[in-house]
């Protein structure tokens, strides 16, 4: 456990198969990690995936600034494609709803079945 005042730095795992990028994140996503997060997502988007899935099962907290970083990366998707948000905690879903970002993505339960892939990274 980190002392008070320190953010829990997120772990970001990336798997790209068949032009689908699955980005699994663990930890708090807030303004303190935006630069590192934006840099990592830019690396992923340089590979030009056609589909982008954010697996947020290991994320308990996200702020508006970090959410903007995620959706900025998604702007590089082909026309008509929206990012998929998978396994979002209730607080994450609430932030997406309050900011209106939930209309710019596909929340799990709405997305089509995923192709078989390797086991999900442990957070």
All domains in the chain, ordered by first residue: 11-107 (3.30.750.24)
The Cα 67–Cα 96 span in angstroms is: 8
Q: What is the SS3 assignment for 70?
A: helix
In this predicted structure, the answer to whether residue 11 has a pLDDT above a threshold of 80 is yes
What would the two tokens of residue 53 be?
Answer: 């899935």
| Chain segment 45-96, per-residue pLDDT in tens | 999 999 999 999 999 899 999 999 999 999 999 988 999 999 999 999 999 9
């Amino acid at each position: 456990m980190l002392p008070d005042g320190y953010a829990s730095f997120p772990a970001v795992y990336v798997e790209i198969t068949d032009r689908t990028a699955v980005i699994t994140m663990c930890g708090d996503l807030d303004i303190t990690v935006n630069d590192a997060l934006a840099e990592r997502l830019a690396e992923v988007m340089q590979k030009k995936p056609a589909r982008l899935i954010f697996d947020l099962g290991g994320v308990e907290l996200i702020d508006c600034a970090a959410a903007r970083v995620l959706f900025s990366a998604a702007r590089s998707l082909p026309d008509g494609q929206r990012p998929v948000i998978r396994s979002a905690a209730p607080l994450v879903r609430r932030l997406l709803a309050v900011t209106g970002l939930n209309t710019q993505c596909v929340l799990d339960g709405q997305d089509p079945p995923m192709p078989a892939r390797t086991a999900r990274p442990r957070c």
